[in-house]
Chain A
Amino acid sequence: MITFAPEIGARHAPTRRFAIGEREVLVFDDLFANKTLRVLYQQMRASHFHWGAYDSMTPPDRHAVRWRADIAAAAAKLPFFEDVIALVSQITTPRLVLDRIYVNFNVYGEVHHAHVDAPDGATALFCANLEWEPEWQGETVFYDGAEPSHVVAPRPGRLIVFDGSLRHRGSPPARDCFEPRINIAFKFQPRTSSHKRPSPAARVVRMA
């Protein structure tokens, strides 16, 4: 299990922090300049997404397909991305390494299933929308066992960092929301993982 720094300096302190059992969720707001947020939103809104992302390989999840775009590993050295990676690195014990980055493009009508990302890793979700009304929904829901227990709303520029072993799910925008819910997902794994990354071919999972 990973742990996050118990005390974080006031300048970039989380605006919200909670634990489910011993596993934590940290919420950061207003970390990045508006100019960077505009670039992220405009670029993501105009990007090509592919149809084929789902929550896990279990049968019900595999029928809940969504839009997604991958982000190349070279992004790790770009502004914004390097800051998110540095933030997670600075607050997490043991140190984790970035596994991958991708963008979710969620619209009304989707189905999201609860799942675990990585038993020994961490996930960071960045809300890349420039505006988001509370009524538009699209919250991230965290579970305590089988029960939903905590909810974090999307907010422009918000970064949610959490223990990858926490069961969670996204949720689609409301019917009267005409904006996609755009979030950038950063997945981190232990530095000394004994698991070898499968070849790209092995990672492509075909639908039944």
Chain B
Amino acid sequence: MKKTRKATPVTITLKRTALRPSQLASVVGGGKGETHTNTPQNLTHRVSST
């Protein structure tokens, strides 16, 4: 009988270091105008197809 090999589980390693407000404040906010949720490559595709 042929044996099936079971996949080895991937172990997710997280640091789980506490996030400080000052750290977050330095990276959040603003924007550069109108944007959409597609990635640039999809944007390129959509532009070229219209």
Contacts and interface: CB of A to CB of B under 8 A. Distances in A.
Nearest to B39: A118
B37 to A, nearest CB: 5
Contacts, number: 181
Interface string A1-32: 00001111111100000000000000000011
Interface residues of B, number: 41
B50 to A, nearest CB: 8
A35 B7 contact: no
A111 interface: no
Given A57-B46, A70-B31, A36 B19 contact: yes
Contacts of A68: 31, 35
Interface string A32-76: 110110011011100111101111111001100100111110110
Interface of A: 5-12, 31-33, 35-36, 39-40, 42-44, 47-50, 52-58, 61-62, 65, 68-72, 74-75, 78-80, 82-83, 86-87, 90-91, 99, 102-103, 115-121, 164, 185, 187, 189, 193, 195, 197-198, 200, 203-207
